[in-house]
Amino acid sequence: MSFRHNDDNSLTAKSICRYTKSLKHIPLSAQGRPQSVMRPEAHSNGQIGGVMQKNQLLYLSKAEVEAIGVTMAEIIESLKVTFRAKGEGRTEMPPKPGIHPGGGNNFIHAMPAYIADLKSAGIKWVAGFPENPNKNIPYITGLLIFNDVETGLPLAVMDCVWITAMRTGAATAVAASYLARPESSVVGMLGCGVQGRSNVEALKVLFPLKTVRAYDVNPDAVQQYAKDIRSQLDVEVVPAATPREAVSGCDIVVTAGPILRTPHATIKAGWLDEGTFASLVDYDSYWEPAAMAQVAKFCTDDTAQLQLYQQMGYFKNIPEIHADLGELASGQKPGRQSAEERTMTANLGLALNDMAVAPLLYQRAVEREIGTWLDL
């Protein structure tokens, strides 16, 4: 038996595809602004109304991206479409190359992807520097370039901090729709930063969440997290004094700390209850190998990318991979098959996820006249 969730309030796959089919070149006025919020068919000679137009791209700042109004439910549905397309061979995404300025756990990754079903292509250039919060700078920063799939021209450049946070939470929810028990109501959250918030927001779209047991090495972060989640999501938050209190007795466990090449292996064997689903947003940083070995199904969002990271020194001792999310979404591999089995996914963060969000943001920004048009 397979346990899955249906979200009646989210967009359907058909509406997502219909929504993105309209992405063509926006006609520009003589002042370089869109003539209308709807995009007509582009002319092959680059002319609109007999007047040659300049090629332009739309720039969206972090604040503008956040103000556009794309919802978590829409992002989750777009990711479902994307992972199904991935499983059926209608996406293109090379494993992300990276550089590591300053050494340690710093990284800057290039993340290109193409999703045929959504007519979405582009690349995200994203950095993660664990010491940034001590400098009052976000841990994750970067930009995303969204391209026209018919011409290759860049349509938009947008800040990717909000995108990264939201699509990462959405990917956990999509994985949980195949691997968690549908009645899951108690979430254990280890790491009360941006991902700790977005993952709970996403899970609440698909599950009847009532309680979050929250742990962080910084007690002040837990208190602020509890205040935010209670007010924004109407979910009770119980601060956990120890990591084990945020793991045992939960239906879903999410670890969302910094990504480390050498895990601190805080979570031990025997802590994860039978029937629990765990999402490893921070790779295997929180988990000792014996604890991971107790799961019946170990999954990931992309097998090839995980194997690349193994070559780089991550995931040195993990269970055999049961399936990636593309295989689960397309029905090639089963998800949860009993109420008792422990399940786990290590979601690495895919360029496909970013490109699933980009057309939603771009289309709505054009419709609402948000952002700044720049000449190419």
Name the residue type at position 363: Q
Name the residue type at position 84: R
CATH number of 13-163+353-375: 3.30.1780.10
Summarize the confidence of residues 340-345 as an average pLDDT: 98
**How much is the pLDDT for 34?**
36
Q: Where are the domains of the chain?
A: 13-163+353-375, 172-349
Q: Does 13-163+353-375 match 172-349 in CATH topology?
A: no
Tell me how far apart the alpha carbons of residues 10 and 62 are, in angstroms, rounded to a whole number.
24
- pLDDT tens profile 79-123: 999 999 999 999 999 988 889 999 888 999 999 999 999 999 999
Tell me how far apart the alpha carbons of residues 39 and 28 are, in angstroms, rounded to a whole number.
10
Instruction: Tell me the CATH class for 172-349.
Output: alpha beta
pLDDT higher than threshold 80 for residue 65: yes
Name the residue type at position 289: P
DSSP state of 146: E
The catalytically annotated residue of 80, 86, 96, 124 is 124
Name the residue type at position 222: V
CA distances 187 to 8, 21, 205, 211, Å, are 22, 37, 13, 6
Global pTM reads 0.85
**How much is the pLDDT for 58?**
98
Category of 103 on φ-ψ map: left (φ > 0), alpha (ψ -120 to 50) or beta? left
Known catalytic residue at 124: yes
Summarize the confidence of residues 311-335 as an average pLDDT: 96
CA distances 303 to 5, 53, 270, Å, are 24, 44, 27
In this structure, the number of other CB atoms found within 10 A of the CB of residue 280 comes to 26
Confidence of residue 188 (pLDDT cuts 50, 70, 90): very high
